[in-house]
Amino acid sequence: MGFTPRVGSSPSSGTIFFVWSWLVVHLPSSVTIVEVSLRDGLQDEHTTLSTADKAALCRDLVGAGLRYIEATSFVRPDLVPQLADAEELAEHIPAASDVVYAALIPNLKGAERALRSGFRTWHLLVSASETHNWVNIRRTVSQSLDELGQVAAIAAQAGVALAGYIGTAFGCPFEGHISLTKVRRLIDAYAGMGLNHITLADTTGMANPRQVYETAMSLQEAYPAVVFGMHFHNTRDLGLANVLAAMQAGVTRFDASLGGIGGCPFAPAAGGNIATEDLVNMLSEMGIDTGTDLDRLIDASRRLESLLGHELPSRLPKVGKAYDLHDPAEIR
């Protein structure tokens, strides 16, 4: 549903009120944030943080109220050295019964490592783009699905929770447009493995709000038993706009990364993720609960910036919250 004024005309105040009322009615009261800075964020950084620094960052995230954290990925250390300490980090992240710690699992070997390390939630990953899947994982889509089916069987036997990720779901820097048919093929495959939580990833920030809304509406109608999440990159400054479009379509689960760090090392112009603190700021200003403390997120982001040694993409640590008041005497 939308509103398009006639050429040369302006919408009446009544029409604007109707459209805004419709948007508000269709917004959720709360959302779940999946924090991915420790994995998707750090994997694209030139600076490799120590395990102790990662554990401290994790404590900051938990202290700020985040309750779903993707902590690492069990990938080849030679390809992603920033995450080479996955097993060691598992021993040092703060124990908290109300926090979900997830690990990204690209293959069988990764599943075996994750199981030994005690992770009880696994994120599986395959790309809708054949080219990106090969560049990213060195497998065809069919090969990935076959192997992830075996991973899902191991998880089921071990009582591990699973969520599926679909990379390049909105576009691919190598292939361009990605059809919904390709995305649905992967959803069907995940559903066949018993997964009912699936996140669509805009790996290089190619999505736009209309595309996000229409995709979310179509897929939720076709797969009513699936809980869909969204993973947006802010490459072209559309990340938060895409979140709003997804929420209007009924999505309430979003990945975000402290400071807006992150990207795919195996895709050009991947850009950063949407920043957790910027997302929380937008949602809180709209009256949508995230269960997080924005001030503590901003403090954590500033500490992360110091650790990484460069300016981070997020806005809130630089400009402050909208209603942080200033002394007029400071204006010259």
Tokens 């508000």: give the residue.
Answer: 24
Q: From CA 220, how far away is CA 223, in angstroms rounded?
A: 5
pLDDT of 78 > 90? The answer is: no
pLDDT band at 59 (very low <50, low <70, confident <90, very high): very high
Of residues 11 and 82, more confidence is placed in 82
The pTM assigned to this predicted structure is 0.91
Positions marked active-site: 264
CATH class of 28-313: alpha beta
Torsion angles phi and psi, residue 168, rounded to 5:
45, 40
Q: Which of 166, 243, 171 is nearest to 205 (CA)?
A: 171
Which residue ranges make up each domain of the chain?
28-313
Query: What's the pLDDT score for residue 6?
Result: 38
One-letter amino acid of 159: G
> 294 and 281 in contact (C-beta within 8 Å)?
yes
Rg (Cα) of the chain, in Å, rounded? 20
What would the pLDDT profile of 219-260 be if each residue is shown by its tens digit? 999 999 999 999 999 999 999 999 999 999 999 999 999 999
- Write down how long the chain is: 332
With a pLDDT cut of 70, the percent of the chain lying above it is 90
What would the pLDDT profile of 146-195 be if each residue is shown by its tens digit? 999 999 999 999 999 999 999 999 999 999 999 999 999 999 999 999 99
What would the pLDDT profile of 83-108 be if each residue is shown by its tens digit? 999 999 999 999 999 999 999 998 99
pLDDT of 198 > 70? The answer is: yes
